[in-house]
Amino acid sequence: MRIFTRQHKRWLIGLLALILVVAAIYLRRARPGDAQSGSTSRRSATRPQEIPVVTAVAKTGDMKVYLNGLGSVVPYNTITVKSRVDGQLVNVLFKEGQTVSSGELLAEIDPRPFQVQVAQAEGQMARDQALLVNAKVDLERYRVLFSQDSVPKQQLDTQQSLVRQYEGVVKADQGQVDNAKLQLSYCRITAPIRGRVGLRLVDVGNMVHAADANGLVVITQLQPITVVFAVPEDNLPEILKNVKAGQKLPVEAYDREQKRRLATGALASIDNQIDPNTGTIKLKAVFANSENELFPNQFVNARLLVDTLDNVTLVPSAAIQHSPQSAFVYVVKPDQTVEVRNVEIQLSEGDETAIAKGLKPTEVVVTDGVDKLQPGAKVTARTNNPTETRS
């Protein structure tokens, strides 16, 4: 038992010594690598970190100057179609929402009562015409007798007066016939203008009257159509200058979010007075509206082109930063470091800004990632093509 214990202790001692030798060799080999790794970490810590940014190149171009105003689409003509005679509605020939032409038949009223009136008027005129013919024959007979000194002058004059009376009666009868025929024509209700019909207001079979307030249907002219919008009164002199020079000022209509252009037209007229409550003046623009892009009473954002800035320095509006003192941009230098450059803004329109001073074309400015920048910071630039502005 004691011999087994001594052998066991020797074996353990030998194993422990082997482990210590292997550990010493491992530590000796690992120390140079650790030292090299530590050196690398120190070098990484001292090297400045490059900041990723998005850049754009300043360019030379033209910028259009617009005046913006909230407007409403107003049709040239809106007509409530009414009956001009009283009667029963017997036929409706239009469909709701249909586009109709001027003179197109829309509805019919029972014509029989008016046909009877025409017949009565024509009958009365025929009777009076016969009396007139007889009176004229008697007048010729009296003239012959008067020339033979067979009748007195008074009788001839009386017959001449009777002829003139019958002529007046016949003329009045002709008026009655024309009026009866006119009332009969009103039984056919036609469209007075070209436009789009709305919802039907009266159904077939109902009695309609000339005094009805609502009428049968409303027709709205859609082509062309107008937009009425307001601009500040301070812009009026510039608008009047262009109008007096004979320029046709373009107007664009955009949706509520000002992202989608609906239609393009031109300035048609200027109101004759300024609204003292809002300090604005109303303008009217006309649009062809060939595709029915604009709809009556629709709210749109109108943009009136009043001027164009030629050959100015343009940068994306996202590059412009502001401080309490001035506006500035971060300019990327050839060594990929940035500097702060104060600039003077001439005009901002949409996604682009015109720079009056402080920046030259072909210089590179930062448009995204400016929140981490400091003057002299090293950057990794990625060029981003700016979105095309609205033209």
53 by Cβ neighbours in 10 Å (0-12 / 13-18 / 19+) ranks as buried
Average pLDDT of span 214-222: 94
pLDDT at residue number 2: 46
In terms of pLDDT, which residue wins out, 214 or 6? 214
Q: Quick check: 61 pLDDT over 60?
A: yes
Q: 41 falls in which pLDDT band (50, 70, 90)?
A: very low
**% pLDDT > 70, the chain:** 88
Q: How many Cα atoms occupy the beta-carbon half-sphere of 152 within 13 Å?
A: 3
User: Rounded mean pLDDT of the chain?
Assistant: 87
Q: Quick check: 258 pLDDT over 50?
A: yes
Q: 109 falls in which pLDDT band (50, 70, 90)?
A: very high
Average pLDDT of span 364-390: 75
Task: Check if the beta carbon of residue 116 is closer than 8 Å to that of residue 219.
Answer: no
Residue 50 is given by DSSP the state: P
With H, G, I as helix, E, B as strand and everything else as coil, classify residue 21: helix
Task: Check if the beta carbon of residue 386 is closer than 8 Å to that of residue 352.
Answer: yes
- Token representation of residue 42: 């120190």
Residue type, 215: G
From 122-131, 224-233, 326-335, the region with the lowest mean pLDDT: 326-335
pLDDT at residue number 5: 59
Task: Check if the beta carbon of residue 57 is closer than 8 Å to that of residue 363.
Answer: yes
pLDDT at residue number 151: 84
From 12-21, 94-103, 133-142, 303-312, the region with the lowest mean pLDDT: 12-21
pLDDT at residue number 6: 62
Q: Quick check: 386 pLDDT over 70?
A: no
Cα–Cα distances in Å, from 31 out to 27, 35, 313?
6, 6, 60
| pTM, 2 dp | 0.68
Average pLDDT of span 280-286: 95
Task: Check if the beta carbon of residue 218 is closer than 8 Å to that of residue 121.
Answer: no
Tell me the DSSP string of 194-252. SEEE----S-TT-EE-TT-SS-SEEEE--SSEEEEEEEEGGGHHHHHHHHHTT---EEE
Average pLDDT of span 149-163: 90
Distance CA 137, CA 130 (A): 11
pLDDT tens by residue, 157-211: 999 999 999 999 999 999 999 999 999 999 999 999 999 999 999 999 999 999 9
- Token representation of residue 201: 């207001």
